[in-house]
Amino acid sequence: GAVVSQHPSWVICKSGTSVKIECRSLDFQATTMFWYRQFPKQSLMLMATSNEGSKATYEQGVEKDKFLINHASLTLSTLTVTSAHPEDSSFYICSAQRDDFSTDTQYFGPGTRLTVL
């Protein structure tokens, strides 16, 4: 149990276009999901906390107008990279926090590799 999926697993797009990444908790409900970004040879960087039914909380330095987050349901959060540029190329990972108390950790998705040409 406790599976989190991401779609797509990889995407290549042209500079200036927008890309949407989905994060789904497949077998549990998650009021809270997190979006991370990983640069090569660097740690995961928390970008924002996504809460179902309310606005996302962005970390300092993360542009909320560029990285749009929508937590549409208890099992789905989306990250849209708007007007993508080559510097946005990265590995984006989401995680989901279970609503029940049977666990005490986050479950991570497999990640999405974004390449902006």
Partner 1 sequence: DQQVKQNSPSLSVQEGRISILNCDYTNSMFDYFLWYKKYPAEGPTFLISISSIKDKNEDGRFTVFLNKSAKHLSLHIVPSQPGDSAVYFCAASGNSYDKVIFGPGTSLSVIP
Residues 12-31 that bind partner 1 (CB under 8 A): none
CA atoms within 13 A on the CB side of 61: 4
Smaller CB separation from partner 1, 64 or 83: 64
> If binding is defined by CB under 8 A, does position 111 make contact with partner 1?
yes
> If binding is defined by CB under 8 A, does position 78 make contact with partner 1?
no
Whether 88 and 19 have beta carbons less than 8 Å apart is answered as no
Peptide bond into 86 cis (omega under 30): no
CA 20 to mean position of chain CA atoms: 10
Smaller CB separation from partner 1, 13 or 45: 45
> If binding is defined by CB under 8 A, does position 35 make contact with partner 1?
no
> If binding is defined by CB under 8 A, does position 7 make contact with partner 1?
no
